[in-house]
Structure 1
Amino acid sequence: MHARSYERPQEDRKALAKMVTQAFKNWDLENEESLAMLGLSEGSRGSLSRYRNGEPLNQNRDMMERAGHILAIHKNLRLMFPHDRERAYQWMRTRNRAFNNLTPAEVVSQYGFQGLLMVRAYLDRARGH
């Protein structure tokens, strides 16, 4: 039987949970914004808390794809602002004309997975990819 492309060992999913929740902390996101990034309902606050405490991310395609996009956004920001970590971290909460004056975090909250793709695509283009 072939493993699905999104299947990851538990240790990898634990590491992903730590990296993703650290990005949320760096970006100073509200719980609701963090939940939206992960595609979780507001009733899933307990899951967010467990991820922060080292529980592995759920092994489903949506969660793995979202984690990949979140980490790509984080990487893009660090590469765009290599000498200004504060600016890189504030970017997700800064209003942007490209997003009709919404913050990137608001774009994800309002548009869900499509919003996450919009933010990632914007940063990929800004970096010339």
Structure 2
Amino acid sequence: MAQAALQEYGFVDPTTKENRSKLAKMIMRLFEHWDIPVADQLELLGQSPKSRNLLGKYRKGEPLPAGRDSMDRVGYLLSIHSSLQTLFPENPNLVYKWPHVRNQAFAGRTPLEVMKEEGHLGLIKVAWHLQTRLSR
């Protein structure tokens, strides 16, 4: 799913610096649209809370790390966004607020809480929830 999301956005080869640079800018814009606090951005990317300066570099186009964990996390985040755009094409406001809305599918937690509390598995859980909704 993560690799499919990267391919959907035209990043067939996320190992190139150029593509990872584009991904960095894209994911930073997504975090802005989702209104994700800085500490949570770092957590979602699997980075240390002490790595705040990385986010500024990513906004300027510094390439994301080439490691699988980083690319999977970005792929799941993009998959979540893509699914939300498909589910709510007429409501971009909901697409951007959805990560902050309590959801019964997550025992009343917000998708953002699930992703933060459960880390990589939380990203997968949220992405799969949306994929399941799309396949109905």
TM-score (norm 2): 0.86
Supply the RMSD in Å over aligned alpha carbons. Answer: 1.6
2:43 — aligned with what?
A: 36
Q: Distance in 2 between matches of 1:6 and 1:109?
A: 27
Q: Which runs of 5+ in 1 are unaligned?
A: none
Correspondent of 1:127 among 113, 125, 134 = 134
1:85 — aligned with what?
A: 92
Offset at residue 30 of structure 1 (A): 0.7
1:45-56 correspondence to structure 2 within 5 Å: 45-56=52-63
Correspondent of 1:20 among 27, 37, 59 = 27
Q: Distance in 2 between matches of 1:48 and 1:107?
A: 22
Decide whether the 8 Å contact of 1:6 with 1:61 is kept in 2: no
Q: Which amino acid aligns with 1:58?
A: P
DSSP 3-state at the match of 1:39: coil
Q: Which runs of 5+ in 2 are unaligned?
A: 1-11
DSSP 3-state at the match of 2:50: helix
C-alpha distance after superposition, 1:22-71 (max 9, x if no partner): 11111111112211211112111111221112111011111011111111
Identity %: 38
Decide whether the 8 Å contact of 2:88 with 2:94 is kept in 1: yes
Decide whether the 8 Å contact of 1:10 with 1:56 is kept in 2: yes
TM-score (norm 1): 0.91
Following TM superposition, the consecutive aligned residue runs of length 4 or more in structure 1 with deviations greater than 3 angstroms are: none
Q: Which amino acid aligns with 2:15?
A: R
How many residues end up aligned between the 2 structures? 125
